[in-house]
């Protein structure tokens, strides 16, 4: 029996065992927490409530409609006991209680194949803590100061070469276009190189590779996770050949950049006067690793984390900006107020880091857009010890699901206007803490960047980039919504979400 036959047989046996286990669990679906509701009618053979993750509406039927008065519900997902929470105090308790997420062979193996097993989002325990501490140093504000002008210059180039040539169009789908700007920002600020996505979007190997690999991972992990061909990357299929070809493009580029920084001439050491070294995230990570005695950061972890940064910055920031422009196009009075602030703070200057800190209303706009349209719809934690949530005792090993979009639109957390686009709610002079909610709990009403010790390590970078790009776009262009534009419908797309029909806007040169 050859190796390939053994792998196929082993995979089939594992799937069969999982099916038998899930059948046993399904045949006796019953509450594992006596005080919580269990929607038996939403459970199916093998997957449990798996179908409830197929759309935003289906997820809300499970985690919102079936929740009790405390905003909680219990269910099974492929035999795994789970609880969902909505209320900010419970969200805070969960995110502070556990940094652990149980690995899933139907998900994590595909992420490993795409981003690598040493990326921060895949690490757990002590290894995660070491990497988190070192990577956080790279994202300190002092390292971001010099990146702001680069972000502004790329935003201006995007307006000149992508938006202005399309002002004669009746409408454009802004969603795929903004990815070009965010990718070029990442190339310059994270890697110290130019991806040329803005100038060469149609024949750019980096754009093509990342677009294919994102779609490929989503297809394997979410559309066909039980298909053996999804897991067996060595099979000679067309999809696998494309996977290996595009992976080689990205890995070769990243490995080359990492190698060039890890082997620097003596004249480019950190203590050299008039330092001419690159001032990008890769160099900051190299410096942090060099100062650490643990040796935890290896060439593989460098490469895996850079690829993870590339994914996060390319996809999530572009999603956030696209929805922000949509919200402003449908709220012209808010767009006008933002433009007034931009002119008062920036004038015609290229934005600096300090300028971005003074764009408080623009920052509130981005935050409000992230509240209503979070790029990542779900996060979860696995309990390593029993946990008391309100009047419920949650056992060890339970996976706690936090539906970010539902939490951030929950009226108990945000008041009766939770569905309204109102940036003022994020300003200090509009403090709207709900009755009985502490300031500490209030902070966990907004979890677009997750929360607790395992929150998004690149949050500062993402907010700086989004605010600067938004300011430059609005200073030069006006955005409106065509009457015949297709509706904007949020749809799950693997790790993130995307607008099902795109985001169609009309762009005009601002006088």
The DSSP 8-state label assigned to residue 348 in this structure reads: T
CB 498 within 8 A of CB 154: no
Question: What is the rounded distance in angstroms from the CA atom of residue 174 to the CA atom of residue 17?
Answer: 46
Residue 9 contacts by C-beta under 8 Å, 6 or more apart in sequence?
1
Tokens of 438: 């502490």
Work out the angle between the directed axes of helices 125-138 and 281-290 (0-180°, nearest 10).
Answer: 120
Contacts for 159-166: CB closer than 8 Å, 24+ residues apart: 159/472, 159/473, 159/476, 159/477, 161/198, 161/199, 162/198, 163/473, 163/476, 163/477, 163/507, 164/477, 164/509, 166/507
Helix 205-218 and helix 299-311: axis angle, to 10°? 90
Rounded-to-integer distance, Cα 344 and Cα 356, Å: 12
Query: Which residue, 120, 132, 99, is CA-closest to 294?
Result: 132
CA gyration radius, the chain: 23
Strand partners, 74: 83
User: Is 456 annotated as belonging to a binding site?
Assistant: yes
Q: Cα–Cα distance between 436 and 428 in angstroms, integer?
A: 19
Signed CA dihedral, 387, 390, 392, 397: sign only: negative
Dihedral pair phi/psi, residue 510, rounded to 5°: -80, 130
Q: How far apart are CA 300 and CA 262, in angstroms?
A: 12
Task: Report the C-alpha gap between 48 and 24 in whole angstroms.
Answer: 11
Report CA-CA distances (Å) from 491 to 323, 374, 376. 13, 11, 11
CA distance readout (Å), 61 to 56, 57, 58, 147:
9, 6, 5, 43
Are 77 and 47 in contact, with CB atoms under 8 Å apart? yes
Distance separating alpha carbons of residues 409 and 445, to the nearest angstrom: 9
Distance CA 370, CA 377 (A): 11
Provide the annotated binding site for heme. 456
Residue numbers in the known binding site are: 456
């Amino acid at each position: 029996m050859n190796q390939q036959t053994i792998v196929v047989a082993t995979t089939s046996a594992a799937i069969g065992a999982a099916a038998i286990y899930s059948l046993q669990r399904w045949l006796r679906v019953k509450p594992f927490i006596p005080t919580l509701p269990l929607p038996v009618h939403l459970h199916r053979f093998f997957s449990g409530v798996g179908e409830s993750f197929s759309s935003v509406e289906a997820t809300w039927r499970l985690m919102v409609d079936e929740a009790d008065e405390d905003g909680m519900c219990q269910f099974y997902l492929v035999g795994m006991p789970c609880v969902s929470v909505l209320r900010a105090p419970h969200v805070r308790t969960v995110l502070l209680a556990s940094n652990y997420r149980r690995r899933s062979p139907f998900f994590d193996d595909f992420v490993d194949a795409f981003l690598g097993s040493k990326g921060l989002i895949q690490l757990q325990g002590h290894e995660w803590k070491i990497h988190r501490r070192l990577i956080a140093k790279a994202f300190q504000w002092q390292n971001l100061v010099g990146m702001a002008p680069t972000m502004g210059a790329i935003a201006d180039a995007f307006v000149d070469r992508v938006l202005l040539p399309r002002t004669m169009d009746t409408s454009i789908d802004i969603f795929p276009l903004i990815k070009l700007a965010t990718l070029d920002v990442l190339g310059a600020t994270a890697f110290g190189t130019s991806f040329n996505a803005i100038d060469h979007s149609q024949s750019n190997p980096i754009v093509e590779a990342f677009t294919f690999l994102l779609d490929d991972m989503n297809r394997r992990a979410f559309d066909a996770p039980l298909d053996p061909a999804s897991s067996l990357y060595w099979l000679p299929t067309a999809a696998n050949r494309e996977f290996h070809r595009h992976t080689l493009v990205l890995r070769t580029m990243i490995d080359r950049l990492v190698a060039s920084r890890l082997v620097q001439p003596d004249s480019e050491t950190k203590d050299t006067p008039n330092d001419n070294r690159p001032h990008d995230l890769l160099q900051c990570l190299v410096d942090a690793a060099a100062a650490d005695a643990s040796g935890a950061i290896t060439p593989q972890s460098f490469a895996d984390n850079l690829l993870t940064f590339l994914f996060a910055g390319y996809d999530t920031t572009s999603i956030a900006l696209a929805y922000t422009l949509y919200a402003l196009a449908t709220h012209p009075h808010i767009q006008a107020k933002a433009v007034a602030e931009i002119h008062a703070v920036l004038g015609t200057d290229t934005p600096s880091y300090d300028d971005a800190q003074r764009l408080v209303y623009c920052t509130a706009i981005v935050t409000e857009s992230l509240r209503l349209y979070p790029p990542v719809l779900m996060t979860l934690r696995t309990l390593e010890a029993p946990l008391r949530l309100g009047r419920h005792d949650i056992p060890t090993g339970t996976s706690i699901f936090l539906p970010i979009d539902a939490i951030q639109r929950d009226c108990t957390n945000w008041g009766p206007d939770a569905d309204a686009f109102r940036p003022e709610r994020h300003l200090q002079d509009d403090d709207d803490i709900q009755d009985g909610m502490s300031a500490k709990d209030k902070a966990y009403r907004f979890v677009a960047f997750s929360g607790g010790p395992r929150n998004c390590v690149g949050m500062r970078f993402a907010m700086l980039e989004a605010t600067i790009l938004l300011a430059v776009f609005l200073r030069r262009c006006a955005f409106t919504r065509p009457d015949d534009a297709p509706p904007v419908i949020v749809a799950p797309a693997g790790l993130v979400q995307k607008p099902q029909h795109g985001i169609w806007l009309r762009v005009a040169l601002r006088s």
